[in-house]
């Protein structure tokens, strides 16, 4: 049993309990797993509008004359491609090319960047980033405790957001392209709205001071959004084949193996882990991330072994029942020889169950 008193609570904790959410400890936080039910909540996001309390996520600000040089050296993607108000998916690597964390980094100004990192890695990321910052003229600050965050996702998310924030903010939000971020005023308090998400639907992630999160949550609910827990957050992102740190990658998995090579700029810049990635590329990747769907009734789960004939071919990194597909499936790190269309067997608690390797994503994102 979780000792809920030892777990950290977001500023929406009482709201979740009032809504009779099923609560669970996640990365040291007391979080809602579901309210109405994972499958119903999943459908709500795909068809209408759902809101998620993601206040447990971390925020780190990078500011100073060498903010860009520092960020270029520490992350895999190219921050010089970002105009103010734009963000990109990226990652921190160790010198073996393994992933310390994945993150989204936004440019707020010529010398100011803002990174959103995974809740479970906040301390690790910040310690690493501080250590690496000493050679640069830059200030790196951990602002995680200052920000609450609500994600609003689904085909009706823009309508609900505009209705809640009003016409003036609505105009700024209307202009947001995918991955862009803008400042809005919520009853006189500044908040950041980013057109990003982890569900594969049109949506936004809103960063705000704690002082307004409870009222904003309630307003979203009264304007038609439904509360969505971490259970559906996982089934939604898995269908869209978005990786989850801890499941799909860790410090022994490179971004090339994790299937996010598109975010790695190997040509134009030097960064921590680059040498290791170049070596991996040159030697040929030994393993890679694939998506798969079950051909036999069983639910694949993280760490289940995968076989091709008698050969150990890898393991499931994330698996679940996938409500939109009405089938079970997930992602796996497999031997490079495994091809799309191949049949694989998954060891589900001692029984081999058939699955088929399919193209990613399992569900085509509608984010743009």
Partner 1 sequence: MSFPKDLKYTNDHEWIRVAGKSATVGITKYALEQLGDVVHLELPKVGETYQAGDTFGTIESTKTVSDLYMPVSGKVTKVNSALVNNLEGLADDPYAGGWIIEMETTSTPDKLLTAEQYEKFIAEE
Residues that bind partner 1 (CB under 8 A): 22, 33-34, 37-40, 231, 235, 297-299, 301, 320-321, 328, 349
Q: CB of 29: closest distance to partner 1 in angstroms?
A: 16
Give the residue with the Cβ less far from partner 1, 58 or 323.
Answer: 323
Q: CB of 239: closest distance to partner 1 in angstroms?
A: 13
Q: CB of 303: closest distance to partner 1 in angstroms?
A: 13
Q: CB of 54: closest distance to partner 1 in angstroms?
A: 19
Burial 272-299 (b: 16+ CB within 10 A, else e): bbbebbeebeeeeeebbbbbbbbbeebb
Give the residue with the Cβ less far from partner 1, 45 or 74.
Answer: 45
Give the residue with the Cβ less far from partner 1, 259 or 323.
Answer: 323
Q: CB of 37: closest distance to partner 1 in angstroms?
A: 5
**Cβ-contact 113, 79 below 8 angstroms:** yes
User: Measured between alpha carbons, how far is 241 from 239 in angstroms, rounded to an integer?
Assistant: 5
Within a 13 Å sphere around the CA of 185, how many CA atoms are in the beta-carbon half?
4
Give the residue with the Cβ less far from partner 1, 22 or 96.
Answer: 22
Residue (of 83, 131, 166) closest to 272 by Cα position: 131
**Cβ-contact 360, 291 below 8 angstroms:** yes
User: Is the C-alpha dihedral spanning 229, 231, 234, 236 positive or negative?
Assistant: negative
DSSP codes of every residue in 324-350? TTTEEEEEEEEETT--TT-EEEEEETT
Q: What are the residues whose beta carbons fall under 8 Å from the beta carbon of 69, sequence distance 6 or more?
A: 136
Q: CB of 25: closest distance to partner 1 in angstroms?
A: 13
Give the residue with the Cβ less far from partner 1, 266 or 327.
Answer: 327
Q: CB of 21: closest distance to partner 1 in angstroms?
A: 11
77 in the Ramachandran plot: left (φ > 0), alpha (ψ -120 to 50) or beta?
Answer: beta
Give the residue with the Cβ less far from partner 1, 17 or 301.
Answer: 301
User: Measured between alpha carbons, how far is 235 from 241 in angstroms, rounded to an integer?
Assistant: 10
Give the residue with the Cβ less far from partner 1, 224 or 246.
Answer: 246
Give the residue with the Cβ less far from partner 1, 39 or 308.
Answer: 39
Q: CB of 146: closest distance to partner 1 in angstroms?
A: 31
Burial 26-40 (b: 16+ CB within 10 A, else e): bbebbbbbbbbebbe
């Amino acid at each position: 049993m979780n000792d809920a008193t030892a777990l950290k609570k977001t500023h929406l904790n009482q709201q979740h309990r009032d809504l009779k959410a099923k609560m669970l400890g996640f990365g040291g936080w007391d979080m809602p797993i579901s309210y109405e039910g994972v499958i119903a909540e999943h459908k709500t996001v795909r068809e209408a509008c759902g809101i998620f309390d993601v206040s447990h996520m971390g925020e780190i600000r990078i500011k100073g004359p060498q903010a860009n040089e520092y960020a270029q050296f520490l992350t895999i993607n190219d921050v010089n491609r970002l105009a103010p108000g734009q963000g990109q998916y990226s990652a921190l690597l160790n010198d073996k090319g393994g992933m310390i964390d994945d993150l989204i980094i936004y440019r707020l100004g010529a010398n100011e960047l803002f990174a959103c990192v995974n809740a479970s890695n906040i301390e690790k990321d910040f310690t690493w980033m501080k250590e690496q910052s000493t050679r640069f003229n830059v200030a790196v600050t951990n602002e995680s405790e200052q920000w609450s965050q609500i994600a609003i996702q689904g085909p009706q998310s823009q309508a609900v957001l505009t209705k809640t924030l009003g016409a003036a903010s609505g105009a700024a939000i209307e202009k947001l392209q995918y991955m862009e971020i803008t400042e809005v005023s919520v009853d006189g308090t500044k908040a950041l709205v980013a057109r990003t998400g982890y569900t594969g639907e049109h949506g936004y992630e809103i960063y705000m001071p704690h002082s307004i999160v409870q009222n904003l949550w309630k307003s979203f609910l009264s304007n038609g959004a439904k509360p969505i827990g971490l259970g559906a957050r996982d089934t939604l992102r898995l269908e869209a084949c978005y990786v989850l740190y801890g499941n799909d990658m860790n410090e022994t998995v490179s971004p090339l193996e994790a299937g996010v090579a598109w975010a790695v700029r190997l040509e134009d810049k030097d960064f921590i882990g680059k040498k290791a990635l170049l070596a991996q590329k040159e030697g040929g990747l030994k393993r890679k991330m694939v998506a798969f769907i079950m051909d036999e009734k069983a639910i694949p789960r993280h760490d289940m072994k995968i076989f091709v004939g008698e050969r150990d071919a890898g393991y499931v990194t994330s698996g679940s029942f996938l409500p939109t597909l009405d089938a079970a499936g997930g992602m796996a790190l497999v031997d490079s020889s495994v091809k799309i269309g191949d049949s694989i067997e998954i060891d589900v608690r001692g029984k081999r169950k058939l699955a088929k390797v399919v193209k990613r994503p399992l569900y085509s994102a509608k984010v743009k």
